[in-house]
Amino acid sequence: MTIQYDPNIYIIKFIIHPIYYHERRNKMKTFFLVALLILAQNNISFGFVDLELYHQQNESYGSFLENHCLEQESSIIQINGFNFHLFPKNTLNGNFYQRYRIFLLTLSLILIGIFFGAFYPRMTQPPIKK
Amino acid sequence: MINKPLGEILIEKNLITKEQLARALELQKETGSLLGEILVSLGLITPLQLYHVITEQGPFEYAGGNLQLLAQEIDPKLLSFFNPQDFFQFSFFPYRTNHDEIEILTPNPNNGSLRQFLENRFPGKRLTLKLITPYELDWLAHIFFKDKFLLEATSGLFYRSPEESAMRVFTPIQWISLGILCALIIIGVFTLPHLTLLILLGLANLFYAINVIFRYVLSSAGAKLDTNSSLFKKTDYQLRPSDLPIYTILLPLYHEPSSVIRQLKTAIQNLDYPPEKLDVIFLIEEDDQETLIHCKAEKPPYNVRFVIVPKGMPKTKPRACNFGLAFARGEFLTIYDAEDIPERDQLKKAVAYFRSSPPNIMCFQNALNFYNAEQNILTRLFTLEYSYWFDYLLPGLYLNHLPVPLGGTSNHFRTKILRDLGGWDPYNVTEDADLGMRASYRGYQIGILPSTTFEEANSQVKNWIRQRSRWLKGYLQTFLVHNRHPFQVIRNSGWKGWFTLQAFIGGTTLGQAFSLILWVLFFIWLFNRGEFLQSYFSGPILYLGVFNLIIGNFLGIYLNMLAVFRRRNDRLIFYSLLNPLYWWLASIAAWKGIFQLFTRPFFWEKTIHGLQFKGKPDE
């Protein structure tokens, strides 16, 4: 059995077709938004750490926070917010909540911001007649 | 032109017998209604037969028959001289005009008040009255004013008083405040988790305890309401049939099975009220052809009018009712659900109560209860709850001069005040509760009518949760709408009115939602031997929690037991012990309602009626 390849169909279906174009644009948008979210979260998380919000934790589990700030082993990991605190030697003394507290706080605040921002027109304006 | 009485002509034409005429004349003496109306309402002749005979009798010409042609002949400029409400109040429709003459279409040409109204409106012009049937009058209004009525039904309240409409779920201040509150809680949970959770648990328990005490106080007051009050006897003289006004009954129907329509028709026919003074309006959605077919198949009596509600959003019961309100003729108006069976004397009782009450009582709410209480455990628990709500809580609110959230159906209104208030909010999914609160905050009062309408209790858990989630979502909408201007609420109805809004309207949904969390914590404590939660439940919070667990649940069960005594449903008494299970269901519904408030705020979770008929061979 041979597979017929028609370049015209390929062009119509995947390049010119407006629905595909919109899908692709939406995917790009989603990608950039997620990337922005991770970056924002990373920066704000570091900001919180600098503000010493972990003060109480530092007293009992002093090592892991300092370590992650000062002893980054790779710049890639520093950019990637999801691997924040995942160095084995940094996490020895903390449970999940202690390790990811700043991360979770930032994520929650950003999600609240996004939710209340995105729903603002829908919740505070009359519905638009369609 | 035949110079003979109407009855005689009808006998000559063999349309009625002498006995039938004698019966109709007897009724006419009692009620003072028109003979033709009585004959039609008794089903002895059709409106068309009546109008043909009246035309023969003279001097009025019958202009109906071909509605499309008639509509083309009507002078649209003439319509602008009137308010559409006038057409139903005085029962007429403008036809044509020239320099010195005005032609009017009416089903009742001998109506003195119509003649006076028109002479005042057009002094010096000669009036020519032509006949049409009441159905043709409705259709003409529908043809010419459908869009206007629909706009009024959908957006009237919002345009006149945007702050009282749930069309906007939150105001910007409310939305931003909620966002800040959520952010503060999150920051608290991640920075000072112990203290934050202590505060949250303390507030939830305190709120719950206040709610329990408030309900107990209300129920104690409600228990004092004497349902055998002498008010009805005192006003007996006002109940002569000739003094009874036209009473409108709105019946919003949507996807109703034929068994339900049959039951509804029988219930309406059984009402002890002169049928010619009953203005029954079946409100059927334009896209619901099935219900229209079922209604026509049941051949309802001639006092029933079909009003087709045009398509549009939001597709809710209050929108349909607002549309129907435009067609209402009655001095008083009530609303029933499709599956309702009101007590026979309910309308007469309502008239008597209205006549002997101050004019600021705009509505009477009567009790609702169920005719299928014994169907299963869910219906038994639902009956207990309904009995408690309508026999104790609402009378408690009334006797304490607090705002009463109207419940479901069987609300009896003064039609004029209802129109002045802007009708129901089509965007609020508990439009009745909202209307009760709005009326109270505008200085009107809601009374309690000692009469009962029997409904069908939801017998399926899924259907029950759907219905309950709608109610609880609507209570939240009402809570948000009336909290937009709290100082105005305090100014209009005092601190008591404001507190009722927080504890009774907001407290019902939020309390039921919190209760699930508190129950989960209780079970964790039970299996965890308290180690994990010990630091959170200590001191005052522990006492409050124990109070809610023991006293709160005891009172809930005890008050439901009391409800049984007033209704003499002794067989249900042991089922009240199962109430905690029922409250868990309510909690699930509360969370569903809260979720829907954000995702589908105006979505109407339709309650499926007629479930009790399922499985019966005849249905």
Query: What integer is the mean pLDDT of B65-87?
Result: 80
Q: For B208-257, what is each residue's pLDDT tens digit? A: 888 889 989 988 888 887 655 544 455 554 577 778 888 999 999 988 88
Q: Output phi, psi for B251, to 5 deg.
A: -130, 90
Q: What letter represents residue B430's amino acid?
A: T
Biggest alpha carbon–alpha carbon distance for chain A: 71
At residue A78, the pLDDT reads 39
State yes or no: pLDDT of B364 exceeds 70: yes
The dihedrals phi and psi of B412, each to the nearest 5 degrees, come to -105, 120
Q: What is the mean predicted confidence (pLDDT) over B467-474?
A: 91
Asked if residue B181 lies in contact with residue B495, where contact means CB atoms within 8 angstroms, the answer is no
What average pLDDT does the segment A105-113 reach?
A: 85
State the pLDDT at residue B321: 92
Alpha-carbon distance of B407 to B446, in angstroms, equals: 11
| Average pLDDT of the residues in A35-52 | 68
pLDDT value for B287: 86
Structure confidence by residue, pLDDT tens digits, B414-462:
999 998 888 899 998 888 999 998 898 888 989 888 888 998 888 888 8
Residue B200 CA from chain centroid, whole number: 37
Mean pLDDT, rounded, for B583-607:
87
A105 touches chain B (CB under 8 A): yes
More confident residue, B545 or B530: B545
Quick one: DSSP state of residue B389?
I
Which residue did the predictor score with more confidence, A25 or B615? A25
Average pLDDT (B513-533) is 79
Backbone angles phi, psi at B369, to 5 degrees: -150, 180
DSSP B236: G
Q: How far is B136 from chain A (nearest CA, A)?
A: 32
Averaged pLDDT, B352-364: 88
pLDDT in tens, B252-309: 998 888 888 888 888 988 888 888 888 899 999 988 888 888 888 887 877 888 888 8
H/E stretch holding B378 reads helix B377-388
Is A126 touching B (CB cutoff 8 A)? yes
Q: How far is B186 from chain A (nearest CA, A)?
A: 7
Q: Touching check for A96 and chain B: CB below 8 Å?
A: no
Is the model more confident about B324 or about B61?
B324
Higher pLDDT, B122 or A86: B122
**Residue whose tokens read 């649209």:** B76
- The minimal CB distance from A126 to the residues B158, B175, B190 is found for B158
With cut-offs at 50, 70 and 90, classify the pLDDT of residue A17: low
What are the residues of chain B with a beta carbon less than 8 Å away from any beta carbon of chain A?
158, 167-172, 175-176, 178-179, 182-183, 186-187, 190-191, 313-314, 598, 601-602
Q: How far apart are CA B392 and CA B373, in angstroms?
A: 18
User: In the prediction, which pLDDT does B612 show?
Assistant: 62
| Better pLDDT: B36 or B177 | B177
Rounded CA gap, A122 and B267, in Å?
43
- Please list the alpha-helical segments (H only) found in B33-111: 35-41, 47-57, 67-73, 76-79, 84-89
Q: Cis (ω within 30 of 0) for the bond into B314?
A: yes
Residue of chain B whose Cα is closest to the Cα of A109: B183
Q: Are B602 and B470 in contact (CB under 8 A)?
A: no
pLDDT at B282: 92
Contact between chains at B175 and A105 (C-beta distance less than 8 A) = no
Residue type, B485: H
Q: Please list every residue in chain A whose beta carbon sits closer than 8 Å to the beta carbon of residue B168.
A: 123-126
Q: Which token pair is B152?
A: 């009024």
Q: Using one digit for the tens of pLDDT, what is the confidence trace for B85-100?
A: 888 888 888 888 877 8
pLDDT digits (tens, 9 = 90+) for B131-167: 888 888 888 888 888 888 888 888 888 888 888 888 8
The residues facing B327 across adjacent strands are none
pLDDT at A72 over 50: no
CB contact under 8 A, A53 and B191: yes
Predicted local confidence at residue A79, as pLDDT: 35
What is the phi-psi region of residue A35: left when phi exceeds 0, alpha when psi lies from -120 to 50, beta otherwise?
A: alpha
In whole angstroms, how far apart are CA B226 and each of B91, B96, B230, B336?
41, 56, 9, 25
Distance from CA of B176 to the nearest CA of A (A): 8
> pLDDT value at position B556?
86
A120 interface with B at CB cutoff 8 Å: yes
Q: Among residues A85, A10, A110, A8, which one has the least CA distance to residue B182?
A: A110
Q: Return d(Cα B126, Cα B404) in angstroms, integer.
A: 50
Q: Do A119 and B313 touch (CB under 8 A)?
A: no
Q: Give the full edge-to-edge strand order of the sheet including B101-106.
A: B61-62, B126-131, B101-106, B93-97
Distance separating alpha carbons of residues B211 and B500, to the nearest angstrom: 10
Find the closest chain B residue to A104 by CA distance: B190
**B-chain residues within 8 Å CB-CB of A105?**
186-187, 190-191
Q: What is the pLDDT of residues B157-199, one digit of tens each?
A: 888 888 888 888 899 999 999 999 999 998 888 777 788 888 8
Query: What's the whole-number average pLDDT of chain B?
Result: 84
The pLDDT score that the predictor gives to residue A55 is: 41
Of residues B8 and B380, which shows the higher confidence score?
Answer: B380
Question: To 10 degrees, what angle do helices B317-325 and B431-441 make?
Answer: 60
Q: Which chain A residue lies closest to B182 (C-alpha atoms)? A: A112
Residue A120 is nearest to which of B175, B191, B313, comparing CB atoms? Answer: B175
Q: Are B31 and B241 in contact (CB under 8 A)?
A: yes
Residue B479 reports pLDDT greater than 90: yes
pLDDT band of B70, cuts 50, 70, 90 = confident
Share of chain B above pLDDT 90, in %: 13
Residues 6+ apart with CB under 8 A from B529: none
What residues of B are in contact with residue A113 (Cβ under 8 Å)? 179, 183
Rg of chain A over CA atoms, in angstroms? 23
Give the other-Cβ count within 10 Å of B357's Cβ.
Answer: 16
Average pLDDT over residues B303-329: 88
For residues B75-82, give the mean pLDDT.
81
